[in-house]
Structure 1
């Protein structure tokens, strides 16, 4: 069978919102030494995708220039390997991250790279489908980093702000697997979904401190704010020490933010293993064909999605 010479890729020709995204026909990339080429089958969306490309100044801070691709999380199958590659062979199922270029039919990543430099790949465990694998890298790593800051365990009651979002679905379940009680903030319509993850739902917004006190009279002992600062500040008011509070989308003096780039080695493989074993599930809120990328990004950018949004390729 003749190898394709072109494929689809989502690109920006000017930075901005979803309207600036286009599906383009581009040359199929070729792997160099130490690289693999992946035929992407699914790409998971994250808030950082559209934040990084929202304007030229922000893009420049992340080293992005035009024309620019889109998306970071991917899953697929290795279809070609470069010289010196020993960890992968053609036909291997893989998942990982390639910053701002994952939504494409083909991507080239380094065998030993990072999300930012060269891209990265991990073997997809048996029992994990590609759509699910495509959601793991950014959200799973960020959740693992947040848990590492607050270190929940048996006897803890953890307050998680934004518990139904892309990172929240991982953080809730990982905290529960660690033995903690979890109270998760969300909207009224997310209550059943939060219960299904193992969290006790509570409404966010004004009066949060009083609602938490009523639900947990003995108090909360740790907190993760996965949306902004409201949950972190409420936790302080509830007496949680700063060293057991973390944020991912904002910074507060005295509180350690969680950064997925600093996740402990092996954390992502552990999360993938938990998914494969059926101990952790990833709700897929919606999936779209690549031709509907603008609609998918608009939905994801609303920040009210319960679970993950995935692009099928």
Structure 2
């Protein structure tokens, strides 16, 4: 099969589409013919050598497509079903991918929209679980206008929380449409939050990694009321928990997001799509922040 890979660290030019052996699912896994695969910031961090040292490396943790092979002990799905999900092997940007967690694609979603859901929904749900966000809580989301931030807004509202979200002024209408109360990020952000929440907030979630963890701790009242998914070093300095997948994944969020999407209550905007062959250009656009919304690779 053809797959995205790099055998040296560097810029987007190191990315190649190569032929590698077809993967096969193990027990409890499925294989799909990939029709779309999500792109995340972790992809270019890997490519630049900021995450893993081994070479070569493949890319991609989320994809949508059609089941073409079932592993042992898999029930509830059949070959030919449309699903989206998570691959633990970091090789979903390819013609075939093995998924460990998946959910049916709602009739209302296409492959690109489905491939945009898994990482954002799981990351957001995991952080909300770890914070303990529930009905009546006020949650501040720093970076609410990105894919994970959008997912966190929608999932927190589903739990009955009040959501305040930071973002640039151009994102405020979109945040209001999701149900969040927007505030501008940058200097003076804590004061703007207190203008609409005078006693502060119950919890804060940082998905932007913009160096505001001390402000979030002050607004939430204690480090244990704040979680970041984007600022590892800042979390250490502020005594805040850094949420990662190896401390337990919220895999149920895939089915929840699918049902909410089918009901018209959950969406992750797709900013641009690219062919698998144009993955280098997708990285250039993503790193430059030149597109709003999720970037997705389409696989023929």
- Give the TM-score range, shorter chain: 0.7 to 0.9
Corresponding position: 1:50 with 2:37 = no
2:4 alignment partner, SS class: strand
- 1:17-64, CA deviations, whole angstroms, 9 ceiling, x for partnerless residues? 32211223x156153664643210000111122212322x7323xxx4
Which residue of the partner structure matches residue 72 of structure 1? Answer: 61
Which residue of the partner structure matches residue 281 of structure 2? Answer: 295
Runs ≥4 residues deviating over 6 A:
none
User: What is the CA-CA distance between 1:303 and the residue it aligns to?
Assistant: 5.0
Equivalents in 2 of 1:226, 1:32: separation in Å? 32
Equivalents in 2 of 1:33, 1:236: separation in Å? 43
User: What is the CA-CA distance between 1:256 and the residue it aligns to?
Assistant: 2.0
- Using the size of structure 2 for normalisation, the TM-score is 0.87
Equivalents in 2 of 1:212, 1:58: separation in Å? 34
Out of 61, 80, 100, the residue aligned to residue 91 of structure 1 is 80
Structure 1 window deviating more from structure 2 (288-297 vs 262-271): it is 262-271
- 1:46-93, CA deviations, whole angstroms, 9 ceiling, x for partnerless residues? 1122212322x7323xxx421x22221111012234676555432121
Equivalents in 1 of 2:61, 2:257: separation in Å? 18
Equivalents in 2 of 1:52, 1:176: separation in Å? 33
Corresponding position: 1:263 with 2:249 = yes
Mapped contact 2:204–2:220 kept (Cα < 8 A): no
Out of 141, 145, 149, the residue aligned to residue 160 of structure 1 is 141
Residue-pair matches, total: 291
Which residue of the partner structure matches residue 3 of structure 1? Answer: none
Which residue of the partner structure matches residue 112 of structure 1? Answer: none
RMSD: 2.4
Which residue of the partner structure matches residue 120 of structure 1? Answer: 100
Q: Which runs of 5+ in 1 are unaligned?
A: 1-6, 110-118
Corresponding position: 1:221 with 2:221 = no
Corresponding position: 1:175 with 2:156 = yes
Which residue of the partner structure matches residue 91 of structure 2? Answer: 101
User: What is the CA-CA distance between 1:160 and the residue it aligns to?
Assistant: 0.6
Matches within 5 A, 1:187-206: 187-206=168-187
User: What is the CA-CA distance between 1:105 and the residue it aligns to?
Assistant: 1.4
Equivalents in 2 of 1:303, 1:245: separation in Å? 26
- 1:236-292, CA deviations, whole angstroms, 9 ceiling, x for partnerless residues? 222522222111112424322222441345233222222222221121122122222
User: What is the CA-CA distance between 1:156 and the residue it aligns to?
Assistant: 2.3
Mapped contact 1:282–1:308 kept (Cα < 8 A): yes
Equivalents in 2 of 1:306, 1:216: separation in Å? 28
Mapped contact 1:160–1:231 kept (Cα < 8 A): no
Structure 1 residues 51 and 222: CA distance shift in structure 2, 3 A: same
Corresponding position: 1:242 with 2:223 = yes
Structure 1 residues 16 and 97: CA distance shift in structure 2, 3 A: farther
Q: Which runs of 5+ in 2 are unaligned?
A: none
Structure 1 residues 37 and 311: CA distance shift in structure 2, 3 A: same
Which residue of the partner structure matches residue 309 of structure 1? Answer: 295
Equivalents in 1 of 2:154, 2:72: separation in Å? 40
Mapped contact 2:103–2:258 kept (Cα < 8 A): no
1:58 alignment partner, SS class: coil
- Using the size of structure 1 for normalisation, the TM-score is 0.83
- 1:217-247, CA deviations, whole angstroms, 9 ceiling, x for partnerless residues? 2422210011216343212222522222111
Equivalents in 2 of 1:207, 1:72: separation in Å? 37
